[in-house]
Amino acid sequence: MALIDDITKIVLRNVQKIDTYPQMTNTASYKSDVDIWRHLENNVWGRDYNNIHGGLSKGNVNALTHRITKNFDDIKSTNTRITTNANNMTIAKAHRDSIESKLEKKADIGHSHAGSDIINQLKGAVVGGGTASLILVGVGAFLLLRSKALKKVL
């Protein structure tokens, strides 16, 4: 019985050693953990690691942390471009509004129906006459073109 108790104690100690960290080397569990950590180092963190042949392998440039950092940098540069474009649009609108107000002032100064000369009265009649003035202009153009056409024939 004492021999069985001793064997049981030895087996239990070895089993407990297998389940604790650091694990015993050359066990399946140890190899599995090494593979997992190697995968994390390479594909998540992108760090260099020791390969199975004992050499140093370069980290993965497309690892998650590298891609997240790159995406974050891209987002920051996009936000900078958006802010710059918004500022440029604000400046352009202010410039356009300035030009528009200058043109409106010039139009108000140069646009006057005041005065008694015949030209201003005719302009007012043609511009303000509406449909009647359009009919008169059309009939006048028709008659003018007809008389030119008759002269060419004769």
Pairwise pLDDT comparison (55 vs 112), residue with the higher score: 55
Domain presence at residue 22: yes
For residues 105 and 97, is the Cβ–Cβ distance under 8 A?
A: no
Instruction: Establish how many alpha carbons lie within 13 A of residue 23's alpha carbon, considering only the half-sphere containing its beta carbon.
Output: 13
Task: Give the number of other CB atoms < 10 A from CB of residue 88.
Answer: 10
Domain presence at residue 14: yes
For residues 65 and 44, is the Cβ–Cβ distance under 8 A?
A: yes
Of 29, 45, 60, which one is at a domain's C-terminal end?
Answer: 60
- In this structure, of 22-26, 80-84, 95-99, 104-108, the range with the lowest mean pLDDT score is 22-26
Pairing relationship of beta strands 56-57 and 49-50 according to DSSP bridges: antiparallel
Pairwise pLDDT comparison (87 vs 114), residue with the higher score: 87
90 pLDDT higher than 90: yes
Q: How deeply is 65 buried, as exposed, middle or buried, from its count of CB atoms within 10 A (0-12, 13-18, 19+)? A: middle
19 pLDDT higher than 60: no
For residues 18 and 27, is the Cβ–Cβ distance under 8 A?
A: yes
Note the pTM of the prediction, 2 decimals: 0.39
132 pLDDT higher than 80: no
pLDDT at 20: 60
Domain presence at residue 97: no
Task: Give the number of other CB atoms < 10 A from CB of residue 154.
Answer: 4
Mean pLDDT of the chain: 76
Pairwise pLDDT comparison (53 vs 62), residue with the higher score: 62
154 pLDDT higher than 90: no
**Could you give the CA distance from residue 145 to residue 141 in angstroms, rounded to a whole number?**
6
pLDDT at 52: 61
| DSSP letter, residue 115 | S
Of 60, 90, 107, which one is at a domain's C-terminal end?
Answer: 60
Structural domain range at position 33: 2-60
Domain presence at residue 90: no
Number of domains the chain is built from: 2
| Strand ranges in 8-154 using DSSP code E only, listed in sequence order | 49-50, 56-57
| DSSP letter, residue 56 | E
pLDDT at 84: 93
Mean local confidence (pLDDT), 26-43: 81
pLDDT at 117: 57
Domain presence at residue 40: yes
Domain presence at residue 85: no
pLDDT at 94: 92
Dihedral pair phi/psi, residue 25, rounded to 5°:
-65, 160
Place of tokens 């790159």: 70
